Every structure is written in C-alpha cells, then in structure tokens.
Structure 1
Amino acid sequence: MDEAFEVVTDVAEISRLNKQLAKQLRATLQYKENREITYPAGHHTGTVYFEAPAGTSVRAWSPHSAPGKLLNFVLSADPGSTKWIEIAVQLNFPEGSYNRRMAGAFVRDGSGDIFVAHRGKLTKGNAGLPKGKVFREFAASTVEASDNGKISRVILIAGLKAPDLADRLWEFAEEAREVATRLGEELHGDGQGQSTGGPLSGGTVVGGPGGSAGASAGDADGQPPASPAERLLTLRGYFDEYSGEGRTKGHGGGKRTVEHGAIVRALERLLRSKGRSQKAQAVDLVIVATSKIDLFEVKTTARTTDVYTGVGQLIIHGECIKELLGPAVKRYLVLPGEPKASHSRAISSKTDITIVTCQKKGSKYQFTGLN
C-alpha cells in the first residue's frame, strides 16, 4: 500500500514545529556570534550558531523573521571571522497565514511522524531553477503529499526528532549546491541566469562558480545524437519522460524514504569518479562510462516483495537503457542484508544481477559486493 504523506498547513502547528527545529539545532550548534549574512536580495546582521568555536567551514545556522515568514538559514563559515556569510540553503516556513511559496515544509507520514522537507525551490546566483529538474536530481527522497486540498512534491530531509537531523540537513545543503551547479550549467552554460527573486521570497540560494557549456539534447531532425555528452542528455531525457508516470508516494514511510535517499546519495558519492551519475524518479542511480553502464536499484529492506520489485525494475529499466545507449548494462540490487538463499541463487544465476549489501556505520554507509 502507498504511504500517505501530508504537509502540515496549520500555521500555529508550523510555528510550534519551527521552535522544535530550533531547539534541535541549538543542541548541536552551541556557539553564538553576531555576523553579517548576505544574499542576492541584500544582507542583514543576525545571530549565528556554530557547531564549534573555531575552524574552517564550520556548520552553522541562523534563525530570522520577516513579515509572514519564519526563516532558517543553513550556513557554513569560519567562527570569529569578520567576513560576511553567504547562505547555503534556506528552510523558510509560512507565518500568519498559510502559503506554499516558502522553500521549507513540515510533512507528516502515515505513522504520524514529522519530517523536515524542502519544496525544491533552488536558485543559482540570482536565477531560479526549474523545480521539475530539481526533483529529478533528488528523486530518491522526493514524495508526493496532500497539501491543503492539492498535491505537492517535496524532498524529505530528515525526521524532526532524528538524532542525525543536523547531519542530514547539511548533507542536503551540500547536495543542493552540487545540483544547482549542474543545472545551472545545463540550462545556462555558465550556471547563471536572469534574476527571478532573491532568498527572501522563500527560495534557496546556492553559491559557487559556474562550469562549462551544456550540450544539446539532440539534433533538430530527431536523429539520435552522436557525441558522448549528447548521449548522456538523451539518457537524462528518458529519465524525465519516465519520471512523469504515476504518483510516487514514498518507499513505505518517511523514515524509509529518508534512508533510501541517504543510501543512494552515499552510493553516488562513492562511484561518481567511475562515470557520469544519472538518476530519476523511477531509477535510483546509473553510472555511465564510455564502454559500460552500471544500474543500481536500492531497497531499504530485504523482504521478498522488495526483492521481487527490485529485480523487475532492474530488468526492465536495464533493457530500456541498453536499447537507448548501446553499451552493456551491469545491474546491481542494493539491500540492507542478504535475501533468502534460494532467491540469491536464482538472482545471480538467472538474471545476471549482482547483490550488494549496505550497512550503516555511524553516520556513514558501507557497501559490500561492488565490482
């Protein structure tokens, strides 16, 4: 059964949950300074809470308020410095009256647990990025939730009471920077664009330099593109098309969805040097190299239904990708433990799928079986 997610829309409850978020962050970020915080729309002097009293690029957070908004600035800076601090990510919530224009959201899953979430509003420099493309990049942790009579897509970041809330939040901020840079290059070539509003509109500011020019997705006459860069974008186009099918509501609950996204993220970071990383709503991770393609499906349990589903997804998606790109596709099923022995034998001997196991060690993930 699909898991039901619901955005919290009562402004009094949002205010209460925002205070709880502040309490959680203050427990981790205990060193207080007054610092100048800057963003494309301006700057202000605010209270900044650092994780450590000294260091370089120390995690920090600054709460702020503006008319109709509860603002949370996620930062990384040097304590004790006089340099202005650029915002990495904002988690802003509505105050006074409810609206969906804020970048942050609190989401309740079917078990009643509350999660901190993001609405996919990212900017690169002064330019807003298409939310559909942002959700594509965060596909492993994106869910649909009822939202005051509508359905909204949101990216689940962490449980509000999770002990690793701060870790998850700054991991999201780091990935948001990377996503904004990639999309900026894809859309504008230099990663920049025309202004569509500053951070106080509720979007997320992501800094960093731009990169090389992006490639065309295909020829005007509809023929398959020839260059490697264009072939990669054809694969990305296939993902876009596939991600529009159906309504993904999660992977069995908010905790599983967050864990699923974290595993995919850890796997991608481990393997990104081996090729170009690709992912989508229906495909967890693809690593595209010159002569081969590695396709990964991640499941957060080794239950029979998840194993069956994962095998089917790998077979179907693998054939589609091979048909489009040509190189052989190596398929990997990532599980938290070994499946039943009979299933393991059948998978390895009949489907040419490699089983990879994943274990969490502290805040990190370790993978066994990659080759």
Structure 2
Amino acid sequence: MFTLIESKKEIAKVQRKLESSIRRDFKTTTIRDIGYPGGTTFDASVFTDGTYWYWSSDHNSKDIANPRRLNWFGLFKNEGRLHISVEINTAYEGRNDQVAGFFARDNDTGSIYLLHSGRVGGGTKGVGQSAFLTWSDQRPVDVVDSSGSLRKGVLVMPIDGIAASRSAVRYIDIIVQFKLAVRAGDMETREFHRKKKEFDDFYSEARGRRMGRRSAEIDYLSRHGEVVDALNAWRTSDLLPKGGRVVKNALIDMGVTVGRDLVEVFEVKTSTARSDLYTAIGQLMVHGAAADCRRVIVLPHKEIIASDLKAALQRLRIELLKFKLDERKATILRRRTNNSKRDTLKRGP
C-alpha cells in the first residue's frame, strides 16, 4: 500500500528532490517558448537530454483556483515552440484530486514516487483518463490519504535513485503514442470498446496493491512496464502459433491468444518475495486455465527463490524466465525452449 504525502513541508522537500533527479538526467538547460491550447509560456528555462524536456514553476497567484507546482514534460525539438505531452502538476498541500499529480510513499520500503491520475488532456475527442489507461495497459495503484480514503494513480518515477527519470521517459512516450492512436481512430474499434469495458469493470472493484518488491538503488517497481515491453519484444522475436497474437489487459501482464483462446500467459514480478510469487502463481493458474496453456513467471535474475516455491513452480509446470534491469534497459535472459540460442533481446535506446 502507498500513503499520500500531504504535509506542505514534506511535499516541498520531495519536489526539490524530484527536480534534482531530473536535472541530473536531463543535463542541458535551454531557454524556449512552450505552447499549449490557449497560450504560450515565453522564455522558459527547460531541462533536456536532447530527446525529452522538463520544466517546472510555481502557479500560485491569488486568482488561481487550484494553486499548484507545475511539472511539464514533452518531446524536445531544436527549433520552434515546445509542446507539452503531459502535465503532472502537484498540489502544495493536502489532497486535491483536481490536480493530476501527487506524491506517495511505498509503506513497504519508504521509497517516494511521483504519481499521475492518468488524466490525459489535449483537446481531442477520445483523449481521456479511462481511454488512456485502457489503451496503455497502465495499472494504477491504491494510495491512502490521512482520512483513510483511497486515490488511484500511475507510478511515473521515483523521486531519487539511479536512472530515476527512466520510467518518466517511458511514460511520456506512452502518452505521445496514445494521442497519435486517438487521432488515427484506434479508440473507435469494437475491440477497444470491449477492452475498455473490461478495464472499467476490473478497476471498479476495490483491491489493494500487490505487496513486496526488490530493495535496490535501481527502482524496479516503477519500471515494471519496461520489463513487459522487453518481454513482448522477446516473445515476438520468435514464431507465434499459427493465428496467434500478443495481448495485454488489466488482468494479465502479457499473453498469446489464438482466436479467443489464451494459449500462453506471462506474469512479471519485480521481486521474489513470497507474497509476490503467491500472487503470480494464482494469476497464472486462474487466467491460464486451459490444460495446455503455457504459463510463465518472469522474475529478477539475481534474486533467490525459496526452495519450496521453486518446487511449486515445477509441480505446476510454470516456466521461469529471468530479466535483468540496469540504468538504460530491461533484458530478458533465457535459453529458448525451441532452439539452442541464448536470448538477450533488449529494450532501450
């Protein structure tokens, strides 16, 4: 479970750490105009790594209904105005659901994260929270506030640590691709509407976050999606069954279907904690219910698996894949079952 950070003093401290982490990874400073529907921010001092940019400023004059710290992210270009891909602005104090960004602490580890409601703007029909979360397969986590009420949010990035901004960069890319998909009409298909209904039904149920994660300088939890991307690339680099296609949804990290039948199911866990493995085994057995379904659990390569859990995986005929995560990429490590080549297919710049 996560706890919302509400103290004005702590939010200010966390915001400073966030900006410091981004400046460490986005090393170049440049003065640019930032355009958005309805206006322009002139001569903004933005930080960039040459591909992405970040800008932050206070927005707290007396006539502002929702005073907030601005955290703007986008794709960088050398000429012309910059444009915002996503605003992850944060309230100065307390809980304010009208402000899409917020900070929360992982109660298990003490790590603090920037989260986003998933509300994606842009003035285009079809650009919205539920559509974005459905399309992108983002999994919001539960965050409890001081009153005991819950707020859901997508993990964007840890506020500090090695390559802290790596997951934020991925989040920007996902939003950019989503907006392109909206303009291409991908939200109007029957398949998308079916998937959106599944998403809405699933997240209407009260549920807690899966507990436990690896303790390390590199934050595994916020980069779960990056591992799933690498897994997708690894699987599609080999032949799929005839008529097979890769699928993802709110219930599974990844699968392969033939027609309506799920013939392969994969579950990624960012630690080998017993609670994580219990959850993964349950998910694989529930969703990979067919007797001949291939069930695969994907775990960090250096972590030890308890002997009784190893035995359970063998007994239940659940395959084990390992992944490696460093500052720049996720890598799936495994010998293929259908050939002798070692797979180290990578996802990263």
TM range (shorter): 0.7 to 0.9
Partner residue of 1:210 out of 173, 176, 184: 184
Partner residue of 2:59 out of 60, 66, 69: 66
Distance 1:32 1:332, change over 3 A: same
CA distance in 2, matches of 1:233, 1:78: 35
CA distance in 2, matches of 1:272, 1:130: 30
Distance 1:84 1:266, change over 3 A: same
Give TM-score, length-normalised by structure 2: 0.76
Contact 1:143–1:153 (CA<8 Å) still a contact in 2? yes
Code of the residue aligned with 1:61 in structure 2: it is Y
Residues 195-228 of structure 1: CA deviation (Å, up to 9, x unaligned): xxxxxxxxxxxxxx42456333xxxxxxxxxxxx
CA distance in 2, matches of 1:309, 1:249: 11
Partner residue of 1:90 out of 87, 98, 120: 87
Contact 1:142–1:250 (CA<8 Å) still a contact in 2? no
Match of 1:168 in 2: 167
CA distance in 2, matches of 1:128, 1:236: 12
Match of 1:247 in 2: 207
Displacement of 1:61 after TM fit? Answer: 1.3
Displacement of 1:306 after TM fit? Answer: 3.5
When structure 1 is superposed on structure 2, of 151-160 and 107-116 the one drifting more is 107-116
CA distance in 1, matches of 2:233, 2:22: 26
Match of 2:347 in 1: none
Q: How many residues align?
A: 314
Contact 1:268–1:277 (CA<8 Å) still a contact in 2? no
* Sequence identity (%): 21
Match of 2:298 in 1: 334
Contact 2:68–2:92 (CA<8 Å) still a contact in 1? yes
- 1:30 counterpart = 2:23: no
Bigger proportion of residues as helix: 1
Displacement of 1:92 after TM fit? Answer: 0.6
Displacement of 1:245 after TM fit? Answer: 3.2
Contact 2:5–2:94 (CA<8 Å) still a contact in 1? no
Code of the residue aligned with 1:314 in structure 2: it is L
Contact 1:62–1:75 (CA<8 Å) still a contact in 2? no
Displacement of 1:276 after TM fit? Answer: 4.4
Partner residue of 1:283 out of 252, 277, 297: 252
CA distance in 2, matches of 1:134, 1:156: 14
C-alpha RMSD over aligned residues: 3.3
Contact 1:140–1:257 (CA<8 Å) still a contact in 2? no
Structure 2 runs not aligned, ≥5 long: 61-66, 338-349
CA distance in 2, matches of 1:112, 1:302: 19
Contact 1:124–1:181 (CA<8 Å) still a contact in 2? no
Code of the residue aligned with 1:115 in structure 2: it is Y
Residue aligned with 1:122, SS: coil
Displacement of 1:97 after TM fit? Answer: 7.3
Structure 1 runs not aligned, ≥5 long: 53-57, 183-190, 192-208, 217-229
CA distance in 1, matches of 2:297, 2:324: 14
